[in-house]
Structure 1
């Protein structure tokens, strides 16, 4: 038996000294150390562990640093969660807690709970576990119970109040439920029913269905400058974002090949005309030459058409601005010397101020949008000043995007003039119809469930 020996220190005096030390600790970690190591002065034991619902196993006797993933600590977690107050043995548990008892603890243990008080709802549930090889006596249990009551108040003093912590809210909820059960309130006054009705009312509130999509400012009615021929760009006469006038030269194609082909065609035309004149002179005396006149005349027309076509191509090799505006294109060095195909877009001429919002609505976010629906563009360069617009149209079919996804093109007309330049990107908020809040929350999860399970 490990009882206090005759003539030893007075247990009450020891308890008073321990209470004095507990009231004057500076931090919670000091109180943890005092609980698992200092309690030995009140009653001898071999092992001690301190556990709280929020901090788990936070202190062990004779251990400075706790390894949370250690098997011993994990086993203590399961024991402390299920331990009833008072003296314990392996027979009080079942499962792996009872099976591994002899591996981790002596035969006899004592669980001293540290519950939260009514005035300190922020304190989580916890307790002090003491274990030794001899049974616990009644006077030891009474002395240690009083010591745990001192610890409870000490922990409340060193712990900063957290009235809105999860444990405080959970404690208030349990207290409220206990009061309702003891008072036998009508069903409409029970907190669970009131909360359920409140949540149902919130879920039924109408909200606007909104979707976010990437977007940018684009020209509303630009004039596209496309390649009139197949060739190589030689030089640009304008710079990106430069103001141009109608008829101003924009760029030139390399005309060396066109000039060479035009000279060859012109020479072939002259040769055909010479052959025709020669046959015309011989036709006066030679009927055979007279029969060749019609074919030579067709050959002349063919050569003339080819020559005129090449001459027109040479004239089209210099592209001019079809109207006043801003030249929108990439870096000229990326175009010079690059072969282009007939019809390939090189640049756009946009009228200043004639801009609108373009957004790409993902297939999964395609909500019904009516013409004139509210639209707001939050530019990355100016997030605090949204550009407001009205939906003009939504494309009928989804189009492939550079990232491999498909999206619907949305165009929206600005509500007023803007000082932001074309090409600025941001996030577009598209506003749809009014829907219940429950539909707004569950729309995407329900769509995913339909796609996966077909429900």
Structure 2
């Protein structure tokens, strides 16, 4: 039998193992690798049967001999309950506490022999650096059959201290909480006894905030807008009827007098034929009455009535013929045709005066915006307007307010808004119909009013002040 090593030799060997473990901890590339060292390689310092790491926010994080612990496993759940109870006990100065089944709750002690040997060790590091924004290192749970010696506890404490520093250097930074941010602000603004009241930090910050809130800014409002023709020629239906065909397409350029669209003339021609037949019938009755008047004086009284009926029927014929000449609608001026899809109009009955299309000059453009009722502000004469088109958001179209409607009108989206028109102050290549967002400049005010105008208005409407 070989003799037991000398105590001094054992001490040197233990220190060598400790140095090797700390070196491997510093070289670890992740917290998962560190946890593996804690639960598996700590046995090089003190013989272990089982080891585990536990975190308050995650429970059992690592187990010896297992790559990934199963959170729903009975052993892991029992171990988590034991660790939570141990974490509620008063911490020791060294962070190392030996315990057995008599320390835990009776329901946990009943299953102790099924999961663990007789002696266990709770290892924490109360001196671990708690850096703001980083989670504290997990606790260790170690178990074996025989009691722990003082030499082993000292080695484990040193190993745990080095391991904790490696953990704090590797584990990810957690988001800063609002509470910690508020504490830093309070510390920064706390009064200092070595300074007079006019040099206190909180007074300087208050003055700076007040100065910023009093900065002059322009009131402004954002509103949906688009480019529209400024003075378009509106083409309306000259008669009641059905549109038969279009001779132009949307956005086409037309000249004055060019045909735009035609009405279905079948109904008009039918009415003309009926009216002409009525004229012929009335004229025949008039000639018969003239022949009877030669022998019957009483028939002379009907001649004037029949003559007036002939004039009435002839007037109706003339009117219908005039309607027939207007069945083909011509362009009243040269420009670009603005209307919807022609297929939506063909075959659709329209009434006299109904708008069919518009004709605008190529350079006849202006900005039309719809200011929401909640954003209506006082606008000076010729207030500046910038239209940021969706097609070109980096090149705004500039203009000046021409007028703002006095009354809000209903919009297709169901809301109410004030119509605003603005003339362009510069040239633009964008076509009519492009949409975007308009920014309208108002009067000068202070920043605090610009920030609080909408909240105060909402508070007033809610409380009825």
TM-score, with normalisation over the residues of structure 2?
Answer: 0.75
Q: Which of 200, 208, 229 in structure 2 is aligned with 1:219?
A: 229
- Of the structure 1 ranges 274-283 and 67-76, higher mean CA displacement relative to structure 2 is found in 67-76
Give the structure 2 partner of residue 339 of structure 1: 349
Instruction: Report if aligned partners of 1:215, 1:425 keep a CA contact under 8 Å in 2.
Output: yes
1:295 pairs, out of 278, 295, 305, with 305
What RMSD in Å do the two structures reach over aligned CA positions? 4.6
For residues 373 and 104 of structure 1, the distance between their equivalents in structure 2, rounded to whole angstroms, comes to 82
Rounded to whole Å, the distance in 2 between the matches of 1:295 and 1:145 is 130
Quote the offset at 1:193 in angstroms: 5.0
Aligned equivalent of 1:112: 125
1:312 CA displacement: 1.6
- Is 1:61 the equivalent of 2:62? yes
* Counterpart contact for 1:216–1:424, Cα < 8 Å: yes
Cα deviation for residue 222 of structure 1 reads 0.5
Q: Distance between the aligned counterparts of 2:72 and 2:215, measured in 1?
A: 47
SS of 1:214's equivalent in the other structure is strand
* Closer, same or farther: CA 80–278 of 1 in aligned 2, 3 Å: farther
For 2:81 and 2:377, the matched residues in 1 are separated by 52
Deviation at 1:254, TM superposition (A): 0.8
Instruction: State how far apart, in whole Å, the 1-side matches of 2:154 and 2:185 are.
Output: 27
Q: Is 1:368 aligned to 2:378, yes or no?
A: yes
The alpha carbon displacement at 1:454 in A equals: 3.4
Alpha-carbon offset, residue 47 of structure 1 = 4.7
**Does 1:258 find its partner at 2:268?**
yes
**C-alpha distance in 2 between matches for 1:372 and 1:239:** 36
Q: Which moved more, 1:262-271 or 1:438-447?
A: 438-447
Would you say the 8 A contact 2:134–2:168 is kept in 1? no
Given candidates 386, 401, 417, the residue that maps to 2:396 is: 386
Report if aligned partners of 1:114, 1:125 keep a CA contact under 8 Å in 2.
Answer: no
Cα separation, 2, equivalents of 1:244 and 1:237: 10
Map 1:325-336 → 2, pairs under 5 A: 325-336=335-346
Aligned to 2:319: 309
Unpaired segments ≥5 residues, structure 2:
1-5, 97-104
Deviation at 1:83, TM superposition (A): 9.0
Distance 2:261 2:332 in 1: 13
**Larger gyration radius, structure 1 or structure 2:** 2
Q: Are the aligned partners of 1:37 and 1:61 in contact in 2 as well (CA < 8 Å)? A: no
- Report SS of the residue matched to 2:363: coil
Number of the residue aligned with 2:412: 402
CA distance in 1, matches of 2:108, 2:355: 80
Aligned residue pairs, count: 433
Alpha-carbon distance in structure 2 between the residues aligned to 1:68 and 1:444: 51
Structure 1 window deviating more from structure 2 (289-298 vs 315-324): it is 289-298
Mapped contact 1:124–1:167 kept (Cα < 8 A): no
Counterpart CA distance in 1 for 2:447 and 2:402 is 27
Find 1:26's aligned residue among 8, 13, 29.
29
Rounded to whole Å, the distance in 2 between the matches of 1:103 and 1:428 is 75
* Structure 1: distance between partners of 2:141 and 2:393: 63
How far apart are the structure 1 equivalents of 2:182 and 2:14? 37
Match of 2:101? none
1:245 aligns with 2:248: no
When residues 138 and 344 of structure 1 are mapped into structure 2, their CA distance, relative to the original with a 3 A threshold, is: farther
Corresponding position of 1:324: 334
TM-score relative to the length of structure 1: 0.77
Gaps of 5+ in 1: 1-5, 90-97
Task: Provide, for residues 357-382 of structure 1, a one-character-per-residue CA deviation record: whole Å limited to 9, x for no partner.
Answer: 11222333333333322211112222
CA distance in 2, matches of 1:83, 1:393: 77
Instruction: Report the counterpart of residue 430 of structure 1 in structure 2.
Output: 440
Cα shift at 1:171: 7.8
Q: Is 2:235–2:356's contact at 8 Å kept on the other side of the alignment?
A: yes
Quick one: distance in 2 between partners of 1:155 and 1:188? 46
